[in-house]
Amino acid sequence: MLTIASDFGTPYPAAMKGVIHQRTDARTVDVGHDFPRQDVRSTAFWLREVLPYFPPAVHLVVVDPGVGTDRNAIVLRAGDHALVGPDNGVLLPVARRLAGGEDGIEAFVVDETRLEPPEPTGAGSATATACSVSAEDGPASNTFHGRDVFAPAAADVHAVGIDRLGSLAFLESGEAAVDCDLPGATLEGDRATGEVLVVDDFGNAITNVVGDFLEDRERVVVNGESVPVGETFAAVPVGKRLATVGSHGYVELDVNQGRGDEAFGLSVGDRVVLEAGE
Amino acid sequence: MLTIASDFGTPYPAAMKGVIHQRTDARTVDVGHDFPRQDVRSTAFWLREVLPYFPPAVHLVVVDPGVGTDRNAIVLRAGDHALVGPDNGVLLPVARRLAGGEDGIEAFVVDETRLEPPEPTGAGSATATACSVSAEDGPASNTFHGRDVFAPAAADVHAVGIDRLGSLAFLESGEAAVDCDLPGATLEGDRATGEVLVVDDFGNAITNVVGDFLEDRERVVVNGESVPVGETFAAVPVGKRLATVGSHGYVELDVNQGRGDEAFGLSVGDRVVLEAGE
Amino acid sequence: MLTIASDFGTPYPAAMKGVIHQRTDARTVDVGHDFPRQDVRSTAFWLREVLPYFPPAVHLVVVDPGVGTDRNAIVLRAGDHALVGPDNGVLLPVARRLAGGEDGIEAFVVDETRLEPPEPTGAGSATATACSVSAEDGPASNTFHGRDVFAPAAADVHAVGIDRLGSLAFLESGEAAVDCDLPGATLEGDRATGEVLVVDDFGNAITNVVGDFLEDRERVVVNGESVPVGETFAAVPVGKRLATVGSHGYVELDVNQGRGDEAFGLSVGDRVVLEAGE
């Protein structure tokens, strides 16, 4: 199984799927192609929450604001899974989760010059003549490594098998150079200071305060305002605010059948102080 | 085959797919994850129109504004198909269609305490320590039953086969308690009184007036305004309004290559009176 | 393999998938269902850029503003691929690419009256009684040929195999009547006059000027304003404009981690003059 996650929308993911199906008969599964655009941290968070539910697989991830710079393409082996993507931190939180910690991760760097590039059928003159990249750069385009580097690498990783990554000529042992800042919250007695890590498509503002903080509380003070604590959205009337423990284990600031981010006036990265109180 | 429909956008559907692929090698097909958010009635309408085109399959449906309340998770056997989702009415219209009527439906209620929960790889401390649900509630999160209840149930239904639902320990014979209001229109001579059932992504306003009403008419009066009747959008110039019979058999209020809902000033649930006249 | 591309959003593609899976066990791959709505030219461009990366396949394409008019449904054989869609030009640019030129394309016209229509399970009274299409029109709806014509045709093409199209009773040798205008740019010395062909989801404004024009230049004058030329988005600071050669080989007008279309004030079809200069 080969899963694909990106911020590409339509139609760039299709070029990646084509390349993958050219090189392997892997079953492909779309994790999603509407991850927050060029937002490495939010994507890293979501991947950490969703990929561990998959059976052993190769996971291709392309959220890559630094495409074309000298950041490496990397492959991480984490438990029975492999992760393929840019070395910008997006892979590390989920790799740690899958590997049971930092030590379980085995890292490889992709040598793009040794990767067999995709060969589209009947490339026309525009593509051919415009291919002005230098020999040193290899054959990849400078703006679409998803198609030209990451997808071929992921397909070849799948074809050879996660246990035999060392046999791939384009992989060199290495390290993930860039980490991802998914900060924890600070807990002092009855006060937690954290931030909004991500906002989901429903508008739920997901903080980095571990859900335990809400245990045995009926209300909580959020940035100075008291709101009810509920076990479910439906604990409050439709349209009303609440704090709850989300499915990922963190405190979420929500509205029943509405958008918590708007009702609380919070965006990704905003500071959140939770306090005991009525 | 196991189809998946939800209003989850990105990335929650991926967690459901992971859970399913952990438990079964079913071929999964995305029906769509952008159903109108928390809109049970529109989703019920669309499922009734699209799922009957599938071969026998298990259909997982999660549009669930009441997640975490005491509404049940149910499984409906309807003909050669099985439907898995919340007991909020979203499954019933398509179940009746697939089963050839109410009598053909066999209903089961999911006993969540007997359902083997999904086990993500290497769940970290946040998820673990935040897991404050009580033993009585079982292991499911209170906000993501798609991942923790419906996806596992659908996968296990697929694995055992539609003919052997009775052998699943977590299924009890029962009933669908909540129906879905997809009202019919009223026909009095040359006057039909109905409403807008749904608006599609193109902006076509789909009413509940059966298409027969337009037969042999060249024009029709819609809420007091006369518009042409066309067999196709292209029966009128680009940008112009018309009434037509949609692919589902109902009267639609459209604009050729434009949005009918805006041009007619109509939203879901709005009253529509169609009358004979020039 | 059977790929599916449309501008249908949710949920109409699911009806097409159902029809396909009813008729063939083909592996289906979503190319995307958010192609620019009813925009034949942009879709034709994207298909030309992405489909050549796929292995031999049947490609179903439904962007069809003329649905229900007398435009034909066509099947094009192009190399090892088959393309199925409306005769409105959307298939031709990619067919030429796949076939290595106009001469390699073999065209068939679909005789809808000889195509076995999809049969949904338990169609209810609304659909049945509203089916007022005349016998001459065949059984297809007038507004959803994706479900009633193109999907069945593509499935049957896949089932019989690309080498045996002539054996399908519903296919007649014919021609693609409508071409697609993907104009080239005009090059006069150090001046290129072209237009914006498409804008991608990132906001990159993709012109029809072949990338060669930027070779060995450090800056270029775009509609009178000088901007840097970069090999990658990251050649300029975040938020700054640049011209680059996109992954398809054309000059793109971009913003590093922003929207080029907005920053340059350009939309699809707008004239673009590129000139040498600092």
Statement to judge: residues A13 and A123 lie in one domain: yes
Task: Tell me if the pTM is above 0.90.
Answer: yes
CB A120, CB C53: distance < 8 Å? yes
Statement to judge: residues B168 and B42 lie in one domain: yes
Side chain identity at residue B49, one-letter code: E
Statement to judge: residues C136 and C193 lie in one domain: no
Q: What pLDDT was estimated at residue C131?
A: 26
Q: Which chains touch A (3 or more CB pairs under 8 A)?
A: B, C
The residue of C4, C16, C29, C121 whose CB has the most chain B CBs within 10 angstroms, and thus the best one to mutate to test that interface, is C121
In a domain, A222, yes or no: yes
Q: Where are the alpha helices (DSSP H) in chain C?
A: 12-23, 40-50, 92-99, 125-129, 145, 151-160, 260-264
Does the beta-carbon distance from A51 to B18 stay under 8 Å? yes
Last residue of a domain, one of A119, A150, A173: A173
Statement to judge: residues A144 and A197 lie in one domain: no
| pLDDT > 90 in chain B, percent | 86
Q: Which residues of C touch A17 (CB under 8 A)?
A: 29, 31, 54
- Domain residue limits at B15: 2-173
User: What confidence tens digit (pLDDT) does each residue in B188-236 have?
Assistant: 989 999 999 999 999 999 999 999 999 999 999 999 999 999 998 989 9
Q: What pLDDT was estimated at residue C126?
A: 43
Statement to judge: residues C128 and C197 lie in one domain: no
At A132, the pLDDT band (50, 70, 90 cuts) reads very low
Where are the extended beta strands (E) located within A175-216? 186-188, 191-199, 205-210
Q: What pLDDT was estimated at residue C6?
A: 97
Residue A161 CB neighbour total at 10 angstroms: 11
d(CA A81, CA A163): 10
- Mean pLDDT in chain A? 91
At A70, the pLDDT band (50, 70, 90 cuts) reads confident
Task: Count CB pairs under 8 A between chains B and C.
Answer: 134
Q: What pLDDT was estimated at residue A128?
A: 32
User: What confidence tens digit (pLDDT) does each residue in C63-86 have?
Assistant: 999 888 889 999 999 999 999 999
Contacts of A145 (CB under 8 A, 6+ apart): A62, A64, A67, A68, A73, A86
d(CA B141, CA A252): 13
At C137, the pLDDT band (50, 70, 90 cuts) reads very low
Q: What's C262's domain CATH number?
A: 2.40.30.90
Q: What's A38's domain CATH number?
A: 3.40.50.10790
Side chain identity at residue C40, one-letter code: V
In a domain, A178, yes or no: no
Choose the closest CB to B98 out of C122, C125, C144.
Answer: C122
Instruction: At B25, give phi and psi (nearest 5°).
Output: -95, 25
Choose the closest CB to A233 out of B12, B22, B143.
Answer: B143
DSSP state of C214: G
Does the beta-carbon distance from C233 to A67 stay under 8 Å? yes
Q: Confirm or reject contact between A97 and chain B (CB < 8 A).
A: yes
Choose the closest CB to A35 out of B11, B18, B122.
Answer: B11
Statement to judge: residues A209 and A159 lie in one domain: no
Q: Can you tell me the mean pLDDT for B136-165?
A: 86
* Least confident residue range of A134-138, A259-263, B182-186: A134-138
Q: Can you tell me the mean pLDDT for B166-172?
A: 97
Residue A182 CB neighbour total at 10 angstroms: 16
Does the beta-carbon distance from A128 to C249 stay under 8 Å? yes
Q: Confirm or reject contact between A99 and chain B (CB < 8 A).
A: yes
Is residue B122's pLDDT more than 90?
no
Q: Which chains touch C (3 or more CB pairs under 8 A)?
A: A, B
Which residues 230-249 on chain B approach chain C with CB closer than 8 angstroms? 231-235, 244-249
Q: What pLDDT was estimated at residue A78?
A: 97
Q: What pLDDT was estimated at residue A81?
A: 98
In a domain, C178, yes or no: no
Last residue of a domain, one of B129, B146, B173: B173
In a domain, C32, yes or no: yes
Task: Count CB pairs under 8 A between chains A and C.
Answer: 133
Angle, helix C40-50 to helix A12-23, in steps of 10 degrees: 30
Q: Confirm or reject contact between B134 and chain A (CB < 8 A).
A: no
* Least confident residue range of B44-48, B155-159, C45-49, C140-144: C140-144
Q: Which residues of C touch B97 (CB under 8 A)?
A: 121-124
d(CA C116, CA A46): 45
Q: Quote the radius of gyration of chain A (alpha carbons, Å).
A: 21
Instruction: At A222, give phi and psi (nearest 5°).
Output: -110, 115
In a domain, C180, yes or no: no
Q: What pLDDT was estimated at residue A136?
A: 31
Statement to judge: residues C216 and C164 lie in one domain: no
Q: Confirm or reject contact between B32 and chain C (CB < 8 A).
A: yes
Does the beta-carbon distance from B18 to A212 stay under 8 Å? no
| CA-based nearest residue in chain A for residue B70 | A234
d(CA A92, CA A265): 30
Does the beta-carbon distance from B14 to A1 stay under 8 Å? no
Statement to judge: residues A224 and A157 lie in one domain: no
Does the beta-carbon distance from B21 to A55 stay under 8 Å? yes
In a domain, C38, yes or no: yes
At A41, the pLDDT band (50, 70, 90 cuts) reads very high
Q: What pLDDT was estimated at residue A277?
A: 80
State the nearest Cα–Cα gap between B95 and chain A, in angstroms. 26
Longest CA–CA span in chain A (Å) reads 70
In a domain, A180, yes or no: no
- Mean pLDDT in chain B? 91
At B132, the pLDDT band (50, 70, 90 cuts) reads very low
Is residue A129's pLDDT more than 50?
no
In a domain, B115, yes or no: yes
Statement to judge: residues A82 and A141 lie in one domain: yes
Number of domains in chain A: 2
d(CA B42, CA B55): 23
Q: What pLDDT was estimated at residue B59?
A: 98
Statement to judge: residues A21 and A103 lie in one domain: yes
Q: List the beta bridge partners of residue B230.
A: none
Statement to judge: residues C149 and C30 lie in one domain: yes
At C111, the pLDDT band (50, 70, 90 cuts) reads very high
- Mean pLDDT in chain C? 91
Total H helices, total E strands in chain A: 7, 15
d(CA A276, CA A271): 17
| CA-based nearest residue in chain B for residue C123 | B97
Q: Confirm or reject contact between A32 and chain B (CB < 8 A).
A: yes
Statement to judge: residues C162 and C65 lie in one domain: yes
Side chain identity at residue A3, one-letter code: T
Q: What pLDDT was estimated at residue B140?
A: 67
Last residue of a domain, one of A173, A198, A223: A173
